[in-house]
Chains A and B, each alone.
Chain A
Amino acid sequence: MTNSSLLSRLSGILWLSPVAMLAIVVASIPFRGFDLFLLAFPAMAVAAAIGVQLMVRRWMAPLPKLNALIAEVSQGRFNGRITEVSEKGELGALCWNLNDMLDQLGAFFREQETTFRCNLDGKFYRHTMPVGLHGGFRKGLLNQNTLLEAMAGQKRAAMYTGLVSRTHHLNTANLLDNLASNQNDLKVITDKMRVVTELASKTCEDAEAGKALVNDVVERLTGITDRISRANETITRLNARSVEINRAVTLINSIADQTNLLALNAAIEAARAGEAGRGFAVVADEVRKLAESTKHASESIGQIMSTLSGETSYMLKDSVEMRESANASQAVIAQMEARFTQFHESASQTMTNADYVHDLSFSSLVKVDHVMYKQRAYVVIDGQNEECMRAIGVDHNNCRLGKWYNEGEGRQLFGNLSSYGALLAPHAKVHGSVHAMTKLMDGPWQTNQALQDKIIDAMEEAESASREVMDLIGRLVDEKHPGMVL
């Protein structure tokens, strides 16, 4: 519009001179008469006007394009350009400068938009490229890089916090269950240990009672020995007495012999009659003495006999007591047998309980190991930790549980139980999932939400397999000690 009016105004001015010339020629006719030659001037002026108008029209050709383009730019659209610029003068330069300006603007906005979008998508490596941009555009893009870096840092931190908080959440929930399982184990161990202590104290009591009984028996047996030696002494004494009796009997025999001789003498003296009175009196005196001796001897025998009867009653009494002692000892020994039976039972119960407690405490240790393995995995997620990284690199054959399972007591003592076979797969899965997690951690999880989800998935799989492992370890012990389950 401006252009056409500008061009028409120019045309107006251009056409003024031929019109004025024509007017002068027409006005001169009354004074000088019609002169055809004079018409040549307005004709030339017309030709000049046409020529100039065409030239101006060509020179100004870019103006409507410029106008349209600037109008478009003012609407926020930078994709238009002016092409086929034939004009070499100021207008041509204006067109190229406008193009350059739009190139700068276009590149600037594209860089800005692309880098923001990439940053939001987690492609933090895409910085703005200020090469080729000028002045404020360049500075703007450099500033944007600072901004992008800060955004990336924030997003990385947020992603880190996100992962850590999700794993902590996962960990806390499972750790509590794991600890509860160990707590339960410890509770059972404590209860069982109390039973074992009670059994041990009972065993101790039984042993003490047994010892008292043995003392009693020993005492009784000592009494019997005393009595036997006393009986021996009595018998010795009796023997001695029987020698005395023999002597007495010999004495009586000699008395009898002498009495016989005296009787013979008396018979002889009686035959001599006469003088019988005096001699007989002597014989009678001798017989009297003999009778006295015989009386002494029989008294002595009577005394010996009474002593003998005393000793005999002693011996009888001892033998009665000895029988009682022996009877009492038999009762004590029966009691001792009962005590020892109890003692044996207590000891074997103690052993069963101790065996169970041993298995349970070992299984609890294995569980703690297993929980620690997972804790190390969480530590690795928390921040790279070389030591934990190395520790969780172990596979399911070489951790404590794996070694116990493959080579140790596990196979030996539990190998024939059904829970034993079931343990292998979930245990391998715990290690497998944790290894998968560490591999994923090598990736760009700080920018990639999907990757982070995969990490959480791997840990959830590990936790779920781990629950199975913990459960199976518990069942393994229960299966081996069916009578022990409280």
Chain B
Amino acid sequence: MKNRITPTSVEKVMREEDFIVSMTDLQGRITYGNRIFIEFSGYSEQELLGTQHNIIRHPDMPRAVFKLLWDTISGGSECNAYVKNLAKDGSFYWVFANITPLFDPNGAITGYFSVRRKPDPKAVQTMGEVYRLMLEEEQRAGARDAIAASTRLMLNLLSEKGLSYDEFILAF
């Protein structure tokens, strides 16, 4: 279903006073989405609930970013990332996502909690360029080595700057 949407160049811009909140289960199926999520994604609540969160994944996003994201949060840590999302109508919207695990009283992860804020425009510009290069790398490497190749690219970039991923992302 998600692949049938043709991306357009229409951009929706988030507002300073809002954030998108959604929750998923361990498999990434949506269990909750707030009204801002409904508004920006363009899907109804019924359409969202129970669906994989990647329903809003934009084809411009490199796969390595989501690999990093899932590796981080399933390890119990928070993950921050700039993400370009695809709305139902083909338009896109940039968010600064902060995803944290949800814990039950025994400390076991039961799902994930994602808050997506209005991103810094400078960061969007930079990360848009980084993602473009990573995507190119993924396409060049082929499906099987795509993630490894673009991850290497990102790690090289970070080591060049002498920063950890978090330091780099949070420095904007």
Contacts and interface: CB of A to CB of B under 8 A. Distances in A.
Interface of A: 79, 81, 83-85, 96, 99-100, 103, 106-107, 110, 114, 123, 125-127, 129, 131-134
Given A83-B49, A96-B35, A132 B115 contact: yes
A140 to B, nearest CB: 15
A83 B118 contact: no
A132 B118 CA distance: 8
Q: Give the secondary structure class of B's interface.
A: mixed
B150 interface: no
B171 interface: yes
A114 B118 contact: no
Contacts of A79: 23, 102, 110, 113
Contacts of A133: 19
B99 to A, nearest CB: 10
Given A83-B32, A110-B113, A134 B167 contact: no
B97 to A, nearest CB: 11
Interface of B: 16-19, 21, 23, 31-32, 34-35, 45-46, 49, 78, 96, 98, 100, 102, 110, 113, 115, 117-118, 166-167, 170-171
A125 B167 contact: yes
A99 B34 contact: yes
A357 to B, nearest CB: 52
Nearest to A75: B105
Given A83-B45, A103-B19, A114 B35 contact: no
A125 B31 contact: no
Given A106-B21, A125-B166, A132-B118, 9 more contacts: A79-B23, A81-B23, A85-B45, A96-B35, A99-B35, A106-B113, A107-B21, A129-B96, A129-B117
A131 B45 contact: no
A51 B111 CA distance: 41
A110 B115 CA distance: 10
B35 A132 contact: no
7 contacts: A84-B45, A100-B34, A103-B21, A107-B19, A110-B115, A127-B170, A131-B19
A349 to B, nearest CB: 64
Contacts of A103: 19, 21, 34, 115
Contacts of A99: 32, 34-35
A131 B23 CA distance: 19
A81 B170 CA distance: 29
Contacts of B98: 110, 129
B21 A84 contact: no
Contacts of A123: 166
A79 B104 CA distance: 10
A10 B102 CA distance: 40
